[in-house]
Amino acid sequence: MPLLVMKFGGTSLATIELIKKAAERVKVEVSRGYEVIVIVSAMSGKTNELIGWVNKTSSIYDAREYDAIVSSGEQVTAGLLALVLQNLDIPARSWQGWQVPLKTSSNHSSARIEEIPTQNLRTKFKEGMKVAVVAGFQGLSLDNRVTTLGRGGSDTTAVAFAAAFGAERCDIYTDVDGIYTTDPRVCEKARKLNQISFEEMLELASQGAKVLQTRSVELAMRFNVRVRVLSSFDPSPDQSGTIVCKEEDVVEKNVVAGVAFSRDEAKMTLISVSDKPGIAAAIFGPLSEAGVNVDMIVQNISDDGLTDMTFSCPTQDVDRAKNALLEHRVSGQIHFEDLIADTEVAKVSVVGIGMRSHAGVAAQMFNTLKDENINIKVITTSEIKISVLIDRKYLELAVQALHNTFKLEKQV
Amino acid sequence: MPLLVMKFGGTSLATIELIKKAAERVKVEVSRGYEVIVIVSAMSGKTNELIGWVNKTSSIYDAREYDAIVSSGEQVTAGLLALVLQNLDIPARSWQGWQVPLKTSSNHSSARIEEIPTQNLRTKFKEGMKVAVVAGFQGLSLDNRVTTLGRGGSDTTAVAFAAAFGAERCDIYTDVDGIYTTDPRVCEKARKLNQISFEEMLELASQGAKVLQTRSVELAMRFNVRVRVLSSFDPSPDQSGTIVCKEEDVVEKNVVAGVAFSRDEAKMTLISVSDKPGIAAAIFGPLSEAGVNVDMIVQNISDDGLTDMTFSCPTQDVDRAKNALLEHRVSGQIHFEDLIADTEVAKVSVVGIGMRSHAGVAAQMFNTLKDENINIKVITTSEIKISVLIDRKYLELAVQALHNTFKLEKQV
């Protein structure tokens, strides 16, 4: 019997009414002849309530206890959805992470999935279970404690189950009806894509598009899991949605697939750093230890053995970055004259597999920004992506202009 | 190292502030040199929230899913209390039922504890853990699913752990400071007992005193676990509380220990039942199948082969009882002329081990009620208890009068 994985996010399960709606969707797929594994998030708001309690409780952060507490939200929705499905005459039961068991590494709160043995679920499917409702986001460590996978972990759970069970497809039900060329709230010409390649989706996700979590896309790419993003709130989601799949299966092929952006970026510059081997390690080692998420890095041309080093990071990491760098200057491990933080910047990225074969995308991008009088502060590129840092106030303007330049409103 | 079991109920853990207060009590015991197992209930109100969702979700009642959902509340408080204890520099960790594992029967929602292997906790105690915070009320069935123990299950969990680990004592922290001769809200002369025997506590609990759950007292009696009931809200609970222990360890020995009562009783009478062998089975078999909790049973003297049969049950069971009996009359399995339900009655019980050696307690009780002009509708007795059914409107009067008669306000 063909098997389908369906994942419902917290906004799709926020109330009992919505849980009933999700169950109706599952029923449609069961009536099409699928065995279904449903991965559920916690009811919207519940995880934050639990995190709030943890924060009020203790200044010590024990990730093992955090995980034990926070994972309870998914456990509740899994049970509730199983009950609703039974009410619809569908043989269903809930599975907590440790019951599957979904085996993970022991780094709590951001554990990695290591193995999903399929035997327990397969036995129950053979015994007549039609739907396994699995609590997402959680697993079991080697020493028998509950782990969680970190933000977006339910997407990752869903893709991992689809890979382990050889599912025909992994449907991610969410509050938007697919992947867009850019955020429609910023650019009204934004167009929903029918298909997108894993590689492009990965760049879009890591550059700020929030529909799918980066790790889930990596996993889908690695195991070639066909992912479909669609809306829980659409009465006929089958006619809608976006398929994320292998490059060769994508029919429509624009040079540029989309424009992604991230609003809360900061640019930090270390002035007059001594330019000698090992200096990058001396700077970025401590930043990494301090948990600063460094993104772009640029080093200026050296002058008299001194150079300026610029990097970007999320604005929320700025204080931690400053403290780490100043501490290491005091202790003599790093030398620099000054540290300048610009917290009013944003990142805009143009992503497309077509760039590999089409020269001139970068030039078009820079020209567009120049025509709008937008100054580029930092540039980085990958094979299928160009990112620039600009003043935050120009973000909307830049996204709209680039969307126009690459004619993203039109399907090729 | 001596080991102590402490149990905190839902009202004692209702807020983060109260959880912190509970942790301070645990710390006191740790500083006295104990290893501690803490059994926690869910935060007050949380279990009802979860049950509310289950009821809104489904007309089908799958106790396995119910248990998976409802057990999440204890899991949260266990994690939170462990965090607070760590914050106080006490090596603590949370344990869910399946992690211990607390093994139970498979009858979900009212499972019985079958075994508590001590190895996992003992290993961690050896490795330096000082406090194990265990989610109460829950266990694991043979087929690896979460079970719950039913109402009051956390008390039972606590006593079972104390028995399994040979604890010095099992302290039940609750919202009252001990066991009283009767409910102080009904009789202002009610006096807190310093000690009470298992047998008396069992009768009081099963006759309506709600401080300890009956099953937990049974278990304590069976394994001779010294139980102390004390208040979470008392700044120095050690000076207070009630010890529940073996009869021979009780120093103060009133003839009567206390007066218990239950307000919501109903008296049902079947008129003109044919008085022949097997008739009781024919009546009470169907009632048991319908889940009616029959308490007292009285059969009148037979007249011409016909008799009246009277029994009492909680008022909430009356409709179920009626339906079951009428159904079986229609099908011809029981014959009776009429069925009279009196839902305005209450039960008052006088309990005391001293009754065994002191004659005349029953006479004193009946005389007291006669002096107050209270009519007795049904009487039942056990070795250490006399219960009567009376009109509900006389309940307070009866309790106060009996409290006076047996001089319960005075310690012997």
Query: Which tens digits make up the pLDDT trace of B161-216?
Result: 999 999 999 999 998 889 999 999 999 999 999 999 999 999 998 777 778 888 99
Q: How far A354 CA lies from chain B's nearest CA (Å)? A: 49
Distance from C-alpha of A252 to C-alpha of A230, rounded to nearest angstrom: 19
How much is the pTM? 0.85
Q: B275 falls in which pLDDT band (50, 70, 90)?
A: confident
Q: How far A394 CA lies from chain B's nearest CA (Å)? A: 45
- Give the pLDDT confidence score for residue A238 in this predicted structure: 79
Distance from C-alpha of A168 to C-alpha of B128, rounded to nearest angstrom: 49
Q: Kindly list the strands in the beta sheet with A195-197, ordered across the sheet, starting from the edge strand earlier in the chain.
A: A92-95, A131-135, A35-40, A3-8, A169-174, A227-231, A242-245, A195-197
Residue of A nearest to B91 (CA): A62
Residues of A in contact with B146 (CB under 8 A): 96
Pull the structure tokens for residue A138: 């959680």
- Over residues B38-88, the pLDDT tens digits come to 999 999 999 899 999 998 987 777 999 999 999 999 999 999 999 999 999
Best of A54, A62, A119 to substitute, by most chain B Cβ atoms within 10 angstroms, is A62
Residue of B nearest to A69 (CA): B76
Q: Minimal CA–CA distance to B308: which of B347, B343, B346, B275?
A: B275
Cross-chain residue pair A83–B65, CB shorter than 8 Å? yes
- Give the pLDDT confidence score for residue A26 in this predicted structure: 97
Q: B121 falls in which pLDDT band (50, 70, 90)?
A: very high
Residues of B in contact with A73 (CB under 8 A): 72
**Is B80:B161 a contact under the CB 8 Å cutoff?**
no
- Please name the residues in contact with B17: beta carbons below 8 A apart, sequence gap of 6 or more: none
- Give the pLDDT confidence score for residue B256 in this predicted structure: 94
Q: Which residues of B touch A (CB under 8 A)?
A: 16, 19-20, 50, 53-54, 56-60, 62, 64-66, 68-69, 72-73, 75-76, 78-80, 82-84, 86-87, 93-94, 96, 98-99, 144-146
Q: B240 falls in which pLDDT band (50, 70, 90)?
A: confident
Cross-chain residue pair A58–B84, CB shorter than 8 Å? yes
Q: Minimal CA–CA distance to A255: which of A378, A364, A400, A388?
A: A364
CA B264 to each of CA A37, B258, B318: distance values in angstroms, whole numbers, following the listed order: 47, 19, 11
End-to-end distance of chain B based on CA atoms, in angstroms?
Answer: 37
Q: Kindly list the strands in the beta sheet with A338-351, ordered across the sheet, starting from the edge strand earlier in the chain.
A: A297-299, A306-314, A258-274, A338-351, A385-391, A378-382
Paired with A205 in beta bridges are none
Residues of B in contact with A83 (CB under 8 A): 54, 57-58, 60, 62, 65-66
CATH 3.30.2130.10 fits domain B259-405 = yes
Distance from C-alpha of B154 to C-alpha of B138, rounded to nearest angstrom: 8
**Beta strand extents in B177-281 (DSSP E only):** 195-197, 227-231, 242-245, 258-274
Distance from C-alpha of B207 to C-alpha of B351, rounded to nearest angstrom: 9
The count of CB pairs under 8 A between chains A and B is 105
Residues of A in contact with B72 (CB under 8 A): 72-73, 75-76
Residues of B in contact with A53 (CB under 8 A): 16, 76, 80
CA A367 to each of CA A186, A377, A385: distance values in angstroms, whole numbers, following the listed order: 21, 15, 16
- Give the pLDDT confidence score for residue A1 in this predicted structure: 86
Based on C-alpha coordinates, what's the Rg of chain A? 23
Domain ranges for chain B, please list them: 3-175, 259-405
The mean predicted confidence, pLDDT, of chain B is 92
Q: Minimal CA–CA distance to A53: which of B306, B17, B264?
A: B17
**Which CATH fold would you assign to the domain B3-175?**
Carbamate kinase (3.40.1160)
**Beta strand extents in B232-304 (DSSP E only):** 242-245, 258-274, 297-299
- Give the pLDDT confidence score for residue B352 in this predicted structure: 93
Pull the structure tokens for residue A223: 């195991």
Q: How far B81 CA lies from chain A's nearest CA (Å)? A: 8
pLDDT in tens, chain A (412 residues): 899 999 999 999 999 999 999 999 999 999 999 999 999 999 999 989 999 999 898 777 799 999 999 999 999 999 999 999 999 999 999 999 999 999 999 999 989 999 999 999 999 999 999 999 999 999 999 999 999 998 779 999 999 999 999 999 999 999 888 999 999 999 999 999 999 999 999 999 877 777 888 899 999 999 999 999 999 988 888 778 999 999 999 987 788 999 999 999 999 999 998 877 788 888 999 998 888 889 898 887 777 788 889 999 999 999 999 999 999 999 888 889 999 999 999 999 999 998 888 888 999 999 999 999 999 999 988 889 999 999 999 999 999 999 999 999 988 7
Residues of B in contact with A94 (CB under 8 A): 65, 68
Tell me how far the alpha carbon of residue A179 is from its chain's centroid: 13
Cross-chain residue pair B76–A19, CB shorter than 8 Å? no
Q: How far A179 CA lies from chain B's nearest CA (Å)? A: 32
The one-letter code for the residue type at B127 is E
- Give the pLDDT confidence score for residue B21 in this predicted structure: 95
Residue B412 has pLDDT above 80, yes or no: no
Distance from C-alpha of B412 to C-alpha of B410, rounded to nearest angstrom: 6
Residue of B nearest to A61 (CA): B83
- Give the pLDDT confidence score for residue B252 in this predicted structure: 75
Distance from C-alpha of A177 to C-alpha of A237, rounded to nearest angstrom: 8
Of A20, A69, A80, the CB nearest to B79: A69
- Give the pLDDT confidence score for residue B60 in this predicted structure: 73
